[in-house]
Amino acid sequence: MTIPERVWLAASNPDAVIGADGLLAAFNDAGVLSPLDILATTTIGRLYGEMDPRVLLAAALAVRGTRFGHVCVRLADQRGAVFVEGIDAVDPETLAWPAEPGWETAVGASPLVGDGVADTPLVLEDGRLYLQRYHAYETRIARFITERLRVGPQPIDTATEALLDAALGGIEPGEDNRQRRAAGVALSSRFAVIAGGPGTGKTHTIAAMLGALARSDQPFPTVALAAPTGKAAARLGEAITEAAERLGDTEAGVQLLSVEASTIHRLLGYHPARGRFRHDRENRLPHDLVIIDEMSMVSLPLAARLLAAVRDDATVVLVGDPYQLESIEAGTVLADIVGPAGGDDAPSSSAPIRDHVVVLDRVHRFGEGSGIADFADAVRGGDADQAIRLLSSGRSDLMWVRGDDAVDFNPLIDRVVAHRTGLVEMADDADRVEDALDELDRLAVLCAHHRGPQSVDRWRRRIETALDERFPGLRFGTEWYPGQPVMITANDYTLDLYNGDIGLTVATTDGPKVAFKRGGIRMFPRSQIGDHATVHAMTIHKSQGSQFAEVVVALPARSSRLLTRELLYTAVTRASTAVTLIGDEDVIRSAIDRSVQRASGLGTRLWDQGG
């Protein structure tokens, strides 16, 4: 007999469930609410004297929502929006949902709920129910942006404008040079967004803008470059270093080299023992210009803390791809801010933010006729028919293996194993460490799931079994072996290694070490490496901020809630030259048809209400 989760909760905290209404128990039994959702809700209800089961259900749904990335919940939409996965799962629409409009009226009248000014656990605004702190985060971000939009554009000095034109091309009458326009907005405003897919020139635009500032006669600003992960920060830093090297041994080149990229946590001075940031609204960042890359990965709470630490007179430039996966935590900050600017209806909007968001749409990385670019466009647009046509077209850079029963599946495994075999041979030669790190970036296996068929665990076992056969004794008696790809899984502020950083175990004259490519090669004794995982394959979520020449994207045999349009788009756009997609047609279609729809009010605040 399976014991319902709420029985476990009752055993550990009897009052939490016994004192709760049957609505909470029914929604828990159906798998909609977790025991912790119920515990949090009933605790708050007792503190505020709220016994109405409709109100308590709404509160529990708001708590639940943050676990699924929602900033708020719309009560009117919950019946059709809640999803429960599982073969024997109860259809949430068959549950006893409170009737509208009385439900929202009851919630609005509850002592649990306020307008965001009073200190209440929940906030109800325009039909959106928030936990109080998430409403505060969203409100702060919206206020930060709208206050900067009220500051009129400042003219760019003639010399800097000429340098921008030389680097990015001028804007001729009737021409839409978006890179040049994006750089102009960033240099003339207090707030700008440079958005676009992979290969559209976002980083090139930033590098050209900073290069123009370094070469102009104006004082070079203090610049902060940051990204949510160490890998993304390293890639950004490398691009700026390359731009500096093109300037040579000049004052401008030296200025540009002085700009260091870091993680957002490092920029803000995160103190892990205290769980606090050194820089906040009371102790602002000293920089004149703050540029944040890979903004799609930044959660609502982190974005609120970051923007609160920016000086009132500083400029903020947010950079990223709004079509990628959102952050693991709650929020869709970049997508909300970009809003309709990425669509055809952008010119019709009168919102002030419209002129501060530039979406780059011309792909430079892949070249003409790229199967990767065309497939990514089809996925992003939700066109499953076109995506399948492209997969079936036989393009050299876009290959399709129809599941692990396909005749071309074993040859694909052989190719991946051959790559890993070469990696071991390079990593075992102390003179080829740099070659080995370059080879590590040549191919990656990206999976939707940690476990099960076509999962991270299954691919790791396949590869390591093959390596054991090819190199007897390679892994005998030790966790570490040459050619072992290692991902850091917890931030290490002492070593300046961060969650998501990928290195390689290599042989050196001083014995085996783990090497990372970050502005050169950095090596650490294995004893210094903290929390980590072997990554012969990684989840698609973990691949964000990374770039590889070729990726193998492994989808499970059956569709699941995790398989979304955004997940597939993120996976295929990690590649620069080739993609191999493993998956049945119905699974691929299901992923493309399912789009992440996180509830948030930030886009409404910025676009629908004109800022």
Look at residue 10 in the predicted model and tell me its pLDDT.
43
pLDDT above 60 for 347: no
Among 72-76, 92-96, 567-571, which is the least confidently predicted range? 92-96
pLDDT above 80 for 471: yes
Are the C-beta atoms of residues 525 and 552 closer than 8 Å to each other? no
Look at residue 7 in the predicted model and tell me its pLDDT.
39
Tell me the C-alpha distance between 217 and 91, whole Å: 66
pLDDT (tens digit per residue) in 162-182: 888 888 876 666 567 899 999
- Does a cis peptide bond (omega within 30 degrees of 0) precede residue 272? no
Mean pLDDT of 406-415: 87
pLDDT (tens digit per residue) in 19-51: 455 888 888 888 888 888 998 999 999 999 988
Are the C-beta atoms of residues 228 and 501 closer than 8 Å to each other? no
- 322, with CB counted inside 10 A (0-12, 13-18, 19+), is buried
Mean pLDDT of 363-376: 76
Are the C-beta atoms of residues 504 and 440 closer than 8 Å to each other? yes
Structure tokens at 598: 């996180």
Between the ranges 119-123, 472-476, 540-544, where is the mean pLDDT highest?
A: 119-123
Angle at 174 between CA 173 and CA 176, to 5 degrees: 105
Summary mean pLDDT of the chain: 86
Structure tokens at 29: 């039994």
- At 268 the three-state DSSP class reads helix
Look at residue 88 in the predicted model and tell me its pLDDT.
63
Mean pLDDT of 237-260: 83
Residue with tokens 């009132």: 312
| Residue 364: band (very low, low, confident or very high) from pLDDT cuts 50, 70, 90 | low
Look at residue 21 in the predicted model and tell me its pLDDT.
57
The dihedral formed by the CA atoms of 143, 144, 147 and 151, expressed in degrees to the nearest 10: -160
Look at residue 343 in the predicted model and tell me its pLDDT.
62
Angle between helices 202-215 and 230-247 (to 10 degrees): 40
| Residue 77: band (very low, low, confident or very high) from pLDDT cuts 50, 70, 90 | confident
Backbone φ and ψ of 162, nearest 5°: -65, -40
Are the C-beta atoms of residues 435 and 426 closer than 8 Å to each other? yes
- At 603 the three-state DSSP class reads helix
- 320, with CB counted inside 10 A (0-12, 13-18, 19+), is buried
pLDDT (tens digit per residue) in 474-507: 777 677 888 999 998 888 878 888 888 889 999 8
Look at residue 134 in the predicted model and tell me its pLDDT.
96
pLDDT above 60 for 327: yes
pLDDT above 70 for 142: yes
Q: Is 476 left (phi over 0), alpha (psi -120 to 50) or beta?
A: beta
Percentage of the residues of the chain whose pLDDT score is greater than 90: 45
Structure tokens at 270: 């995160």
pLDDT above 50 for 239: yes
pLDDT (tens digit per residue) in 559-589: 777 788 999 999 999 998 999 999 999 999 9
Mean pLDDT of 552-556: 93
Between the ranges 366-370, 441-445, 559-563, where is the mean pLDDT highest?
A: 441-445
Other Cβ atoms less than 10 A from the Cβ of 313: the count is: 8
Look at residue 19 in the predicted model and tell me its pLDDT.
44
| Residue 76: band (very low, low, confident or very high) from pLDDT cuts 50, 70, 90 | confident
**Residue, of 93 and 71, whose pLDDT is higher:** 71
Look at residue 477 in the predicted model and tell me its pLDDT.
66
Tell me the C-alpha distance between 292 and 308, whole Å: 14
Task: Give whole-number Cα distances, 395 to 168, 378, 442, in Å.
Answer: 32, 15, 19
State the amino acid at position 153 in one-letter form: P
| Widest distance between CA atoms in the chain | 77
Across the beta sheet with 532-534, what order do the strands follow?
A: 521-525, 513-517, 502-506, 485-488, 532-534
> If you compute the radius of gyration of the chain from its CA atoms, what whole number of angstroms results?
26
**Residue, of 67 and 8, whose pLDDT is higher:** 67
pLDDT above 50 for 276: yes
| Residue 348: band (very low, low, confident or very high) from pLDDT cuts 50, 70, 90 | low
Among 37-46, 147-156, 345-354, 396-405, which is the least confidently predicted range? 345-354
Q: Which of 371, 368, 409, 373 is nearest to 392 (CA)?
A: 371
